Amino acid sequence: MTDKIERSIEELYQNDPERADAEIFGRVTDTSRRGFLGGAGLAAMSAAVGGAIPFAANMPGGLIPAAMAQGTAPAPAAPKGPILLDFPGKNKGLVVIGERPLVAETPEHLLDDDTTPIEKFYIRNNGQIPEENKEPDKWKFTVEGEVNKKLELTLGELKSKYKAQTRRMVLECGGNGRSFFSPKASGNQWTNGGAGCAEWTGVRLADVLKAAGVKPSGIYTAHYAADLHLSGDASKPTLSRGVRIAKAMDPDSMIVWAMNGQPLPNIHGGPVRLLYPGWAGSASQKWLTKIVIRDKEHDGPGMTGTSYRLTIKPMVPGAKADPKNFKILESMPVRAIITSPGNGTKLPAGTKEVKLRGASWAGDLTVRRVDVSTDYGVTWQPAKLEKAKNKYDWQRWTASVKLPRDGYYEIWSRAMDSNGHMQPHVAPNWNPSGYGGNPMHRVAVLIG
């Protein structure tokens, strides 16, 4: 039997934050860091983050400095750097967090556009990527099940028979924020980059369902797609999720064929996909081939066990899950990110003011307010929150913070949704598949 090797600073802090403080920065005399940051510990931490820490006395014990947590400053046992994406038409700054299937997230600083460019939009796959369709208007999909009339439509017919609309709306992976859970949850380790806000063009799903005539018995959808299962078995659906009929009838739930005014790229589900804004992106089936209206809650791959499900009652982190204690993940939680400056930004000596920009969103809800802090959450100031272009658009925000002197700072952001729910300090409600992880965002800034 061999001793466990701690391979990164994140793992060391997750296992024993007080021990991490002691090993990396010196002796800790209490749980708050106030005791040891007056001497050698403060010097060690200042050296690690690259400068003096004006608000060191406020830093919570066991908190990994943002500069070290995301690899912007040297640290003992630092993990290897991120794997950057190399994919046609995509920004090379995207970070690969899964290779089979291909999954890549967008660092927060690349989400600084009001409308997320296609080249900066995150990638999430569950199976093998289909070959690009050369005749998109001939693509066919069906609507069947608990309907009065089965529909078979080509994309060309969809465009000609139904009224098109364009909406700027957030699409977010259900696992966004998963990496913030402790102990580690299973799945791709997203930070905040499993989200983007694009202009989507298509038709209301409700218009198509009304044409088919949903029977009173139809209470749930089931979606099917053209991507092949990773095993190569064509009889196995890669992912088949669904939503309640009420969500399917939402006027912003769409069947889309264009993204930012361009034909929907193959990597994003082209030529036809579903889009259910505000809900976990896995419900927005890519490469759509079939919608089945069911008389019960759908039970396809991605709908059962702990897959895309949250706990009803809190569970002990890391404990064995009781399947009866889980409900389907629907509306995504509130989140605010700082998109400028980026984590690890260095500014000239003497800088006294830093201008901030960011984005915020809240699933089916809206964002009521965004606050920022530069002193580890001791004080907060409100940001200026912009109006959304339409429902489900993210809300951009700006702020300006004053800093007393040169040194290392952490800028924190938090949002509150329209129901009064505030982003927590740490990822809440641990669950084995890591859904709902929406802690406050932190970026490190070094002045001088």
Cα separation, 179 vs 188, in Å, equals 8
For residue 216, the tally of other CB atoms under 10 A from its CB is: 7
Question: What does the pLDDT look like over 277-323, one tens digit per residue?
Answer: 999 999 999 999 999 999 999 999 999 999 999 999 999 999 999 99
Same domain, 356 and 322: no
Same domain, 376 and 299: no
> 185 lies in a domain?
yes
> 43 lies in a domain?
yes
Question: What does the pLDDT look like over 356-396, one tens digit per residue?
Answer: 999 999 999 999 999 999 999 999 999 999 999 999 999 99
Question: What does the pLDDT look like over 29-61, one tens digit per residue?
Answer: 454 555 445 567 778 888 889 999 999 889 887
Q: What percent of the chain has pLDDT over 70?
A: 89
Output the six-digit token pair for 194.
Answer: 């499993």
User: What's the pLDDT at 52?
Assistant: 92
* pLDDT beyond 50 at 125: yes
> 75 lies in a domain?
no
Per this entry, what is the length of the chain?
448
> 317 lies in a domain?
yes
* pLDDT beyond 60 at 418: yes
pTM surpassing 0.75?
yes
Q: What percent of the chain has pLDDT over 90?
A: 83
Domain range for 161 is 126-328
Q: CATH number, domain at 191?
A: 3.90.420.10
Domain count for the chain: 3
Q: Which of 328, 351, 370 is the last residue of a domain?
A: 328
Give 321's contacts (C-beta < 8 A, 6+ positions apart).
306, 315, 431, 432
User: What's the pLDDT at 74?
Assistant: 40
> 195 lies in a domain?
yes
Give 268's contacts (C-beta < 8 A, 6+ positions apart).
118, 121, 123, 259, 286
Q: Which of 342, 416, 412 is nearest to 59 (CA)?
A: 412
Widest Cα–Cα separation across the chain: 76
Q: CATH number, domain at 412?
A: 2.60.40.650
H-helix or E-strand spanning residue 158: helix 155-161
